[in-house]
Amino acid sequence: MSIRYQVGDATAPQADGPRIICHICNDIGGWGAGFVVALSRRWKEPERAYRDWYSAGEGFALGEVQFVNVEPGLWVANMVGQHGVGIRKGKAPIRYEAVRTALRKVATFAKAQGASVHMPRIGCGLSGGTWDQIEPLITDSLVAGGIEVFVYDFK
Query: What's the confidence (pLDDT) of residue 89?
Result: 86
Q: How many other C-beta atoms are found inside a 10 Å radius of the C-beta of residue 6? A: 11
Distance between CA atoms of 93 and 68, rounded to whole angstroms? 24
Q: What is the CA radius of gyration of the chain?
A: 14
Confidence (pTM): 0.96
Q: How many other C-beta atoms are found inside a 10 Å radius of the C-beta of residue 37? A: 11
Q: Residue 149's beta-bridge partner residues? A: 117
CATH number of the structural domain spanning residue 129: 3.40.220.10
Q: How many other C-beta atoms are found inside a 10 Å radius of the C-beta of residue 27? A: 20
Q: What are phi and psi of 147, to 5 degrees?
A: -95, 130
| Domain extent at residue 133 | 4-153
Query: What's the confidence (pLDDT) of residue 88?
Result: 85
- CA–chain centroid gap for 84, Å, is 16
Instruction: Give per-residue pLDDT as tens, 76-128.
Output: 999 999 998 988 888 889 999 999 999 999 999 999 999 999 999 999 988 99
Cβ proximity of 150 and 57 under 8 Å: no
Say if residue 1's pLDDT is above 80: no
Q: What percent of the chain has pLDDT over 70?
A: 100
pLDDT top residue among 105 and 58: 105
4 pLDDT band (50/70/90 cuts)?
very high
Q: How many domains does the chain have?
A: 1
Distance between CA atoms of 137 and 23, rounded to whole angstroms? 14
Query: What's the confidence (pLDDT) of residue 65?
Result: 98
The CB-based long-range contact list for 48-53 (8 Å cut-off, 24+ gap) reads 49/78, 50/25, 50/78, 53/78
Q: Mean pLDDT throughout 131-143?
A: 98
Q: Mean pLDDT throughout 10-36?
A: 96
Say if residue 58's pLDDT is above 90: no
